[in-house]
């Protein structure tokens, strides 16, 4: 009697072609001698990239719009403070030195909150982090509009707004990596980094539209109202908190990111100096105030196009990221040297356009290069590197002003050029280091990556 004729209940029939398998009545086959291999689990970031790459256009457009708006509104308080300073100082009675202190306090708060903001967004998710930064930023601007009756209150509220701005950068970068297809992220980061000129434009328009008509407080009030769509959008984010996201040393390669933060700080010295002293420097060289302002505006617009262009080039070849960043800063250094020596409008326009395209055209590619090499924790990684962005914004104008008073504008632009050359070297060293580390080991512990 064969094994299949035993007196017990009939079991599954043997498969003659594969003896190690048995056939079930419903047609499914289960391995007996070979257990089924467990499928690897994909991280949330990579799963989201696959989803957006499959064609979720609406999600991608929403992510880009939200990220750009978040950064623009995060930077708006300090731009409004500068643009409306003549009205604010007249009402609250404080000096120009105190005005500079309030702006510096804002950037310092942004620098100090960038890393905690990155850890926070990795813990709660991009949508909720964007909403949280919008809540704090909107509340700060609302309080400035309604409650700032003296300089002390204004200073404290600018610090709160700076904290919101520091958290908005890594949160918006995390949203970008989750919702924009990988093949388009470089160009998308170029669009997102246009938020700075947008903030400048809004702040400038607030002077004739609001400051001279209904008063400066209405500008902060309307800016606070503008954060409501971000808050409502962020309420739909996941509530689950990811464990282990509060350990940056385990989550990302800190060493190369610190080098890149130093590279960003030395690079921002040039851009911040251009924003603060360009017109005065051009006038001192013999160019009229009107043409100098026009050149600055035209160059700012072309700079947006260059940021998108460099990001799109990064989409085509990731190998270009590091050498292109280093090359842009080296070219920017040459432009800064010429900027202190040119004294006629047409050559100055050419030099300024090239400076905006090189020495101030790198932020989009910089952020994209980092998130593309830290897919497990892009918010945390850009939070670490972003500290340098705000630190350079604090140091740059102070250094430029001090050198100008002592030695003149030409010497100050030479110092900016030297800072840009240091940035070029640090960009290359930090970028190559990050590439090596990201290929050697995972950027998050294996267990943490599986949870995501």
Mean pLDDT score, 148-162: 94
Mean pLDDT of 123-131: 89
Q: Tell me whether residue 32 is in a domain.
A: no
Residue 299 lies in a domain: yes
CA–CA separation, 14 and 70 (whole Å): 63
Provide the mean pLDDT of the chain.
79
CA distance 400 to 277: 8
Q: Are residues 237 and 251 in the same domain?
A: no
In a domain, 16, yes or no: no
Residue 23 class from Cβ within 10 Å (0-12 exposed, 13-18 middle, 19+ buried)? middle
Same domain, yes or no, for 92 and 158?
Answer: yes
Q: Same domain for 287 and 230? A: no
266 falls within a domain: yes
Q: Which domain holds residue 132?
A: 41-241
Closest CA to 169 of 73, 245, 263, 82: 73
**C-alpha separations of 316 from 79, 184, 308, 435 in Å:** 35, 9, 13, 17
Higher per-residue confidence, 251 vs 227: 227
CATH of the domain at 377: 1.20.1250.20
Q: Model pTM?
A: 0.72
Rounded distance between C-alpha atoms, residue 42 and residue 115, angstroms: 25
Asked if 261 and 388 touch (Cβ cutoff 8 Å), the reply is yes
Higher-pLDDT residue of 98 and 92 is 92
The answer on pLDDT for 250 being more than 60 is: no
Q: Distance between CA 410 and CA 337 in Å, rounded?
A: 8
Per residue in 375-408, pLDDT (tens digit) is 888 888 888 888 888 888 888 888 888 888 889 8
Q: Which of 113-117, 207-211, 215-219 has the lowest mean pLDDT?
A: 207-211
Whether residue 432 sits in one domain with residue 324: yes
Task: Please report the pLDDT score of residue 194 as a whole number.
Answer: 76
3-state SS class at 17: coil
Last residue of a domain, one of 178, 213, 241: 241
Q: Scanning the structure block, which residue is given the tokens 């599986």?
A: 450
Residues 137 and 233 in one domain: yes
Looking at the predicted structure, is the pLDDT value of residue 447 above 70?
A: no
Q: What is the mean pLDDT of residues 172-195?
A: 84
Could you tell me if residue 19 is inside a domain? no
Q: From CA 245, how far away is CA 249, in angstroms rounded?
A: 10
Q: Give me the mean pLDDT over the 218-225 stretch.
A: 95
167 and 283 belong to one structural domain: no
pLDDT of residue 6: 41
- Strongest mean pLDDT among 16-20, 218-222, 251-255, 293-297: 218-222
Q: Are 200 and 360 in contact (CB under 8 A)?
A: no
Same domain, 255 and 232: no
Dump the DSSP string for 349-408: HHHHHHHHHTTTS-HHHHHHHHHHH-TT-HHHHHHHHHHHHHHHHHHHHHHHHHHHHHH-
Q: What is the mean pLDDT of residues 102-124?
A: 88
Q: Give the mean pLDDT of 442-449.
A: 38
Q: Are residues 270 and 213 in the same domain?
A: no
Main-chain phi, psi angles of 139, to 5 degrees:
-65, -40
Is residue 398 situated within a structural domain?
yes
Q: How many CB atoms lie within 10 A of CB 183?
A: 12
The DSSP-derived string for 74-126 is HHHHHHHHHHTHHHHHHHHT--HHHHHHHHHHHHHHHHHHHHHHHHHHHHH-H
Q: Report if residue 280 sits inside a domain.
A: yes
Residue 275 CA to residue 285 CA, distance in Å, equals 17
* 351 and 270, same domain (yes or no): yes
Q: How far apart are alpha carbons 318 and 421 in whole angstroms? A: 23
313: three-class secondary structure by DSSP: helix
Domain boundary among 208, 241, 274: 241
pLDDT mean over 9-32: 44
Q: Note whether 284 and 222 are same-domain residues.
A: no
- The larger pLDDT score, comparing residue 101 to residue 431, is at 431
HSE, side-chain direction, 13 A CA sphere, residue 112 = 11
User: Per DSSP, what are the bridge partners of residue 22?
Assistant: 14, 30
Residue 231 and residue 337 in one domain:
no
**pLDDT greater at residue 13 or residue 419:** 419
Query: What's the structural domain count of the chain?
Result: 2
Q: Does the pLDDT value for residue 443 go beyond 50? A: no
pLDDT category, 47, cuts 50, 70, 90?
Answer: very low
Percentage of the chain exceeding pLDDT 70: 80
Say which residue, 263 or 284, is predicted with more confidence: 263
If asked whether residues 255 and 353 sit together in one domain, one would say yes
Rounded Cα–Cα distance for residues 171 and 132 (Å): 9
Q: What are phi and psi of 172, to 5 degrees?
A: -70, -35
pLDDT at 64: 87
CA angle 402, 406, 408 (to 5 degrees): 95
* Cβ count near 305 (within 10 Å): 14
Is residue 284 one of the residues assigned to a domain?
Answer: yes
Q: Which is more confidently placed, 152 or 28? A: 152
Q: Which of 241, 257, 292 is the last residue of a domain?
A: 241
pLDDT at 439: 59
Q: Judge contact between 374 and 381, C-beta under 8 A.
A: yes
């Amino acid at each position: 009697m064969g094994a299949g004729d035993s007196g017990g209940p009939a079991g599954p029939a043997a498969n003659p072609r594969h003896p190690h398998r048995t056939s079930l009545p419903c047609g499914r086959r289960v391995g007996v001698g070979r257990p089924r291999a467990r499928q690897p689990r994909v991280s949330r970031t990579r799963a989201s990239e696959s989803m957006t790459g499959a064609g979720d256009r609406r999600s991608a457009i929403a992510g880009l719009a939200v990220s750009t708006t978040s950064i623009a509104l995060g930077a708006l308080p300090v731009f409004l403070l500068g643009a409306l300073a003549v009205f604010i100082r007249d009402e609250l009675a404080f000096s120009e030195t105190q005005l500079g202190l309030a702006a510096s306090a804002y950037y310092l708060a942004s620098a100090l909150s960038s890393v905690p903001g990155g850890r926070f967004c990795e813990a709660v998710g991009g949508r909720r982090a964007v909403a949280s930064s919008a809540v704090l930023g909107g509340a700060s601007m609302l309080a400035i509009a309604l409650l700032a009756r003296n300089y002390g209150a204004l200073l404290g509220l600018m610090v709160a707004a700076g904290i919101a701005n520091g958290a908005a950068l890594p949160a918006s970068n995390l949203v970008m990596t989750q919702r924009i297809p990988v093949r388009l992220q470089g160009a998308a980061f170029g669009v997102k980094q246009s938020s700075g000129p947008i903030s400048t434009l809004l702040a400038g328009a607030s002077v004739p539209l609001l400051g001279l008509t209904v008063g400066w407080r209405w500008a902060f009030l309307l800016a606070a109202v503008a954060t409501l769509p971000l808050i409502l959008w962020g309420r739909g984010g996941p509530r689950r908190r990811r464990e282990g996201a509060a350990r940056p040393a385990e989550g990302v390669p800190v060493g190369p990111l610190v080098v890149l933060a130093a590279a960003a700080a030395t690079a921002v010295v040039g851009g911040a100096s251009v924003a603060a002293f360009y017109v005065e420097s051009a006038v001192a060289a013999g160019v009229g105030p009107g043409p100098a302002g026009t050149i600055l505006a035209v160059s700012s617009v072309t700079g947006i196009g260059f940021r998108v262009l460099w990001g799109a080039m990064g989409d085509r070849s990731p190998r270009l990221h590091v050498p292109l960043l280093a090359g842009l800063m080296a070219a920017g250094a040459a432009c800064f040297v010429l900027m202190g020596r040119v004294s006629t409008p047409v050559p100055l326009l050419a030099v300024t356009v090239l400076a905006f395209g090189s020495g101030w055209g790198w932020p989009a590619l910089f952020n994209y290069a980092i998130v593309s090499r830290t897919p497990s924790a892009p918010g945390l990684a850009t939070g670490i590197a972003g500290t340098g962005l705000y630190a350079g914004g604090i140091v740059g104008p102070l250094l430029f002003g001090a050198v100008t008073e002592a030695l003149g504008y030409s010497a100050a632009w030479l110092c900016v050029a030297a800072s840009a050359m240091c940035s070029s070297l640090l960009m290359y060293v930090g970028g190559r280091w990050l590439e090596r580390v990201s290929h050697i080991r995972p950027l998050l512990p294996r267990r943490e990556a599986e949870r995501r």
